Structure 1
Amino acid sequence: MTILTVTLNAALDVTYEVEGADWNGVNRVGAVHRRAGGKGVNVARVLAALGHPVLLTGLTGGPTGALIEADLTAAGLPHSFSPVHAASRTTLAVTSSTGTALFNESGPAVDATEVTAFLERYDRLLRTGAEAVVISGSLPPGLSADFYASLCSRAGEAGVPTIVDADGEPLRHAPGGRPAILKPNAEELTRAVGTMDAVAGARALRTAGAGAVVVSRGADGLVAVTPDGEWTARMPYPVAGNPTGAGDASVAGLALGLVQGTPWPTRLRTAAALGAAAVATHVAGDIDHQVFESIRDQIQITPH
């Protein structure tokens, strides 16, 4: 049994490590990392690092798409992407001691024929051993804002629970598909429901149809509103590093808890620890196992 991750806007992620970015001058790059990315890809990398079987799907196209799939194959990550004619996107992260700047292309436009082909593949994969589906990231041009909700509904018809990590209109529509878990960050939640109160916003998304809502708040940890209770997971100390991919690592922890049926407090502790372990690395999709093990038991879970 595998966890299926869906990345409709897969990317070739390029990360530049610099001493300090001069936005009006020439910069010397200390190290360069290039590999397949996109939020669902990052989730799958973390799950695989924890020893859980994964299968990646989504859309790829052109020379960039070929590089994405080749990198996944080299990493030993099983995948079944649906092809599109336009080239997949590239993203750039510039990271230094002062922070990380992200430059994200919008992605390839998708036509109706390509959407139909993907949905046929998706339905087939749902019925061939998927125990849960993680649907995350941005939508490429050409897909409607309720597309994630539709994917959740299709998975539900196949008896497979879903987790959605999205922003904007796709997040606002997602509860209509009855996902098991929604995982926005604090800013995404505010944009979706118009409140900065994480608990109130999460409750609103649950009322709209989500089974549970987990809000990531960076160094402030997680807030969860679930059928079994409401909790805050607080970090014992801040972890310095690159926050890109931290939310994806937390989603991986939530997915593990979902398929293993672990109690919510344990699930939240694992998710928060994985987020911290991702911050401690240079590249999205990686985790520092030592940080994960050392911080997990120190995370405080407080009921509301």
Structure 2
Amino acid sequence: MILTVTPNPALDVTHAVPGFRPRTSHRVAGVAAQAGGKGVNVARVLAALGRPVRCVLPLGGPTGDAVRADLAAAGLDHVEVPIGGDTRRTVTVADGSDATVLNEPGPALAAAEWEALLGETARQLPQAAVLVLAGSLPPGAPADGYGQLVALGRQFHLPVVLDADGPALLAALPARPTMIKPNGAELTAATGLPDPRDAARVLIRRGAESVLASLGPDGLLAVDRQGAWRCTPPAAVTGNPTGAGDSVVAALAAGLSGNAGWPAVLPDAVALSAATVLHPRAGHFDAAAYRHLRATLTAVRVGGLTSLTL
């Protein structure tokens, strides 16, 4: 079983607005709402792939009730930590070729609520094969909150995939996550370096065992102490990119659960990410496009030990 922890879940509301432009009025073509947050999106994709998965997440208030109801309706195995605040909402405006996302900060967690989240995670870990930690930390969480969760996973000798950015990512590196998944902008922000391979090496020196950098239409770059691998889609796809990175994390977790290497994981992650862009909502993917792309993609090695000395 793959365990995902989403410290700051949300009710994701997606508005379909063809031809969306700022500073004017629009008629909305359609509205959809579902349980979200990065870890929930990862779990939804894994479940669609037939992988056993369970979500741990804090929920509270009327919005938390809506998230809980959608998780149940989707058949997603989940364990909730009750909190006093109301779970946040996110709003995505998708125009068919791109998306605009508004992320609320989320409710502040009391110290006891954070400890309860840690405790519930620890209770689930003996049954897990991989731990996925994804999304923003909620207000009130300790600055090293992800470091605490990574350390829990390591205590149980589990591979840990971390998808976070900014101070939350940097504070978690000393706990030695197995894989981190920043995008190109996040890599530069974390290190000040424009070259993704150089930036990845810095984060490995700081504690990450491997880095999978998401570079948008340029595909994925994986860097570890043995070298670097690259996989690029044959052509750019347009649609709703929200959730594409979560599908990359799902592919990473699935690969780790089967001890797959970069030559297998990278093409799967690129195909799954592109197929997610083609679906109007995060956490879902175009199955036919995924199968087609997966059959056409290969990963190539782009550096060895000499060029990636750490």
TM-score of the superposition, structure 2-length normalised?
Answer: 0.95
Counterpart contact for 2:263–2:298, Cα < 8 Å? no
Provide the rounded CA distance (Å) in 1 between the counterparts of 2:34 and 2:123: 27
| CA distance, structure 2, for counterparts of residue 144 and residue 155 of structure 1 | 17
Which residue number corresponds to residue 241 of structure 2? 243
C-alpha separation in 1, matches of 2:158 and 2:139: 27
Q: Is the 8 A contact 1:228 1:264 kept in 2?
A: no
SS in structure 2 opposite 1:204? helix
1:50 equivalenced with 2:49 (yes/no): yes
How far apart are the structure 1 equivalents of 2:254 and 2:24?
A: 45
Deviation at 1:21, TM superposition (A): 2.3
Alignment of 1:126-205 (within 5 A): 126-127=125-126, 129-205=127-203
Would you say how many aligned residue pairs link Structure 1 and Structure 2? 302
Is the 1:16–1:30 contact (alpha carbons within 8 Å) kept by the matching residues of 2?
A: yes
Equivalents in 2 of 1:283, 1:267: separation in Å?
23
1:222 paired with 2:229, answer no
* Post-superposition CA distance 1:58-86 (Å, at most 9, x none): 21111101110110011000100111100
Partner of 1:93, secondary structure, is strand
**Matched letter for residue 181 of structure 1:** M
Q: Pairwise mapping of residues 2-13 of structure 1 onto structure 2 (< 5 A)?
A: 2-13=1-12
User: d(CA) in 2 for partners of 1:163 and 1:279?
Assistant: 22
| Structure 1 Cα separation of the partners of residues 142 and 114 of structure 2 | 11
Are 1:66 and 2:65 an aligned pair? yes
> Which blocks of at least 5 consecutive residues in structure 2 are unaligned?
303-310
- In terms of fraction of residues, the more strand-rich structure is 1
Alignment of 1:17-32 (within 5 A): 17-32=16-31
Measure how far apart 1:283 and its partner are: 0.1
2:296 is matched with 298
Kept in 2: contact 1:110–1:142 (CA 8 A): yes
* 1:267 pairs with 2:265: yes
Residue 135 of structure 1 contacts residue 162 of structure 1 at CA under 8 Å; is this kept in 2?
yes
In structure 1, C-alpha distance between the alignment counterparts of 2:42 and 2:96, rounded to whole Å: 25
TM-score with structure 1 length normalisation?
0.97
Change (3 A) 1:123 1:94: same
Deviations 1:31-88 (A, max 9, x none): 1110000000000000000000000002111110111011001100010011110000
Contact 1:108 1:140 (C-alpha < 8 Å) held by counterparts: yes
Q: Is this contact kept in 2: 1:43–1:251, CA < 8 A?
A: yes
Deviation (angstroms), 1:22: 4.1
* 1:37 aligned residue: 36
Offset at 1:300?
3.8
Give SS of 2:20's match. coil
Alignment equivalent of 1:253, drawn from 214, 228, 251: 251
Alpha-carbon distance in 2 for matches of 1:283, 1:98: 13
